[in-house]
A = this chain, B = another copy of it.
Amino acid sequence: MRTLIKHALLSAHPQNSITVKGWVRTRRDSKEFSFIELNDGSCLANLQCIADVGIPGYQDIQKMSTGAAIGITGKLIESQGKGQTWEIQATTLELIGEAPSDFPLQKKGHTPEFLRSISHLRPRANLYGAVFRMRSRLANAVHRFFQERDFTLVHTPIITSSDCEGAGEMFRVTTQENASKQDDDFFGKNTYLTVSGQLEGEAFATALSNIYTFGPTFRAENSHTTRHASEFWMIEPEMAFCDLEGDMNLAEEFVKYLVQDVLENNEGDLDIFYKFVDKDLRQRLKFVAERPFQRVSYTEAVEILIASGEQFEYPVEWGVNLQSEHERYLTEKHFKCPTTVYNYPKSVKPFYMRTNDDGKTVTAMDLLVPGIGEIIGGAQREERLEVLEANMKEHGLSKEDYWWYLDLRKYGSCPHAGFGLGFERMLMFVTGMKNIRDVIPFARTPGHCEF
């Protein structure tokens, strides 16, 4: 039986014989014995092994170089060195798979760009192992949060013929060489990759009350920033009989929950981010976990920005969309805490948001966090059939294309609200990683679809 290194390091007592298997990180040889640092990806830490010259398998020691796969059987004993609790005194070594000297992760200090070009090997590097274990735990925390609160997970469709108006450029999905003949295509019409599951999520919320989606979404935009990818995962809860305030409550609770979970259940992986990625990360995470969040209406926010005297690249006046610089001023300099801005001008928001009584704002909300800006965007939806139809007309949308979405207002309509969280953006926030390409296993960006 193989023991994961994570479990070996957490052992409550010495063990007479255990077997670990993994990849050699480093090896040092002396006359009497070799030191091997072994990692199996179950945790950030290596297990240190002392192998005396002459034990079974030792004849292959020169092939047990950085990157090689090996097995070690031996006694788990208290470590003599500092830092580690346990180490292995080997009784047998087993060479499983060599790593020739051209193994690309021999040396440290590779650039992120180079490591992206070997995305199939970079999870064997300490930093990326930590990123992807964190990604898995964060995804699990997302599910736990919603399942504990009786939200039903809904797998909204990836291939779609609707476009969730204006969320972004879309990829075509086709089985034809010449993609213009839509009637003959696989689905008998033009189909695309989804940009959001919100509209379908609303259909399920108005049946099951509280739902969430967690799936891949796509943008065919020619963006080359560090925060945009063509394929990313998104979480979209939707609640029936819920208004804007309930929506803001859930969004704040959700962000706090995820950050607290990362702080409490990171199994040592946070250390590498604190140390090598972002010195302020610990403080920023605690800040979000502990501080109350601030709420401010868009109108008040604009007044604050105008009164600030700051020189913004994009001038502020009532009616403009807030830019990243404005969002960061509000959360980092003015309020110095996570801030939710709500009730945006109707003219800058999509057709499905609920019109307020003032006739010029809608029940939109954005949650801003220090160091990142907007991390969540949401809204109470327009549940009044005649108002929604009027909004659609203003946006030039046809009632026929959205017949089923309008049905949700025709039959048993109710106030409902939801929001979207970009999963990678949250992962960047909790790890301090600065490029979205480095928190996605195999990133897709314009011109890049390797592996």
Q: A173-B171, A186-B220, A231-B159 are in contact. Are A67 and B411 (CB under 8 A)?
A: yes
Q: Are A97 and B383 in contact (CB under 8 A)?
A: yes
- With most chain B CB atoms within 10 A of its CB, the pick from A6, A173, A187 is A173
Complex formed: what's the CA distance from A173 to B97 in Å?
37
Q: Are B449 and A191 in contact (CB under 8 A)?
A: yes
Q: A69-B414, A179-B179, A216-B215 are in contact. Are A157 and B4 (CB under 8 A)?
A: no
> With an 8 A cutoff between CB atoms, is A378 at the interface?
no
A114 to chain B, nearest CB (A): 14
**Binding stretch for chain B, among A47-55, A299-307, A369-377, A438-446:** A438-446
A352 to chain B, nearest CB (A): 15
Q: Which residues in B have their C-beta under 8 angstroms from that of A405?
A: 120
> With an 8 A cutoff between CB atoms, is A208 at the interface?
yes
Q: Which residues in B have their C-beta under 8 angstroms from that of A96?
A: 241, 412-415
Q: Closest chain B residue to A138 by CB distance?
A: B153
> With an 8 A cutoff between CB atoms, is A154 at the interface?
yes
> With an 8 A cutoff between CB atoms, is A294 at the interface?
no
Q: Are B120 and A162 in contact (CB under 8 A)?
A: no
A248 to chain B, nearest CB (A): 16
Q: Are A209 and B161 in contact (CB under 8 A)?
A: no
Q: Closest chain B residue to A40 by CB distance?
A: B209
Q: Are B241 and A21 in contact (CB under 8 A)?
A: yes
A335 to chain B, nearest CB (A): 28
Q: Are A135 and B155 in contact (CB under 8 A)?
A: yes
> With an 8 A cutoff between CB atoms, is A447 at the interface?
yes
Hey, what's the 0/1 contact readout for A80-111 against B, CB within 8 Å counting as 1? Answer: 00000000000000001111100110000000
> With an 8 A cutoff between CB atoms, is A178 at the interface?
yes
> With an 8 A cutoff between CB atoms, is A321 at the interface?
no
> With an 8 A cutoff between CB atoms, is A132 at the interface?
yes
Q: Which residues in B have their C-beta under 8 angstroms from that of A34?
A: none
Q: A157-B442, A204-B132 are in contact. Are A42 and B176 (CB under 8 A)?
A: no
Q: Are A444 and B150 in contact (CB under 8 A)?
A: no
Complex formed: what's the CA distance from A209 to B97 in Å?
14
> With an 8 A cutoff between CB atoms, is A68 at the interface?
yes
Q: Are B152 and A136 in contact (CB under 8 A)?
A: yes
Complex formed: what's the CA distance from A189 to B408 in Å?
41
Q: Are A160 and B200 in contact (CB under 8 A)?
A: no
Q: Closest chain B residue to A19 by CB distance?
A: B241
Q: Report how many residues on chain A are interfacial, defined by Cβ distance under 8 Å.
A: 105
Of residues 1 through 15 on chain A, the ones whose CB sits less than 8 Å from some CB of chain B are: 2, 4, 6-7
> With an 8 A cutoff between CB atoms, is A193 at the interface?
yes
Q: Closest chain B residue to A405 by CB distance?
A: B120
Q: Are A171 and B174 in contact (CB under 8 A)?
A: yes
Q: Which residues in B have their C-beta under 8 angstroms from that of A204?
A: 123, 132, 441
Q: A180-B177, A204-B132, A231-B157 are in contact. Are A241 and B209 (CB under 8 A)?
A: no
Q: Closest chain B residue to A199 by CB distance?
A: B451
Q: A174-B179, A241-B2 are in contact. Are A188 and B447 (CB under 8 A)?
A: yes
> With an 8 A cutoff between CB atoms, is A278 at the interface?
no
Q: A152-B133, A174-B179, A444-B157 are in contact. Are A208 and B123 (CB under 8 A)?
A: yes
> With an 8 A cutoff between CB atoms, is A28 at the interface?
no
Interface residue from B154, B162, B188 paired with A451 (Cβ < 8 Å): B162
Q: Are B411 and A121 in contact (CB under 8 A)?
A: yes
> With an 8 A cutoff between CB atoms, is A62 at the interface?
no
- The 14 sampled A-B contact pairs (Cβ below 8 Å) are A22-B209, A23-B412, A41-B208, A120-B405, A132-B154, A132-B208, A133-B152, A139-B155, A169-B175, A171-B174, A171-B186, A172-B173, A188-B447, A189-B449
A4-B150, A120-B200, A120-B404 known; 16 new pairs, CB 8 Å cut-off, are: A41-B208, A69-B412, A97-B409, A97-B411, A98-B412, A99-B411, A100-B410, A129-B207, A133-B152, A139-B143, A139-B155, A157-B449, A173-B173, A178-B179, A186-B230, A188-B447
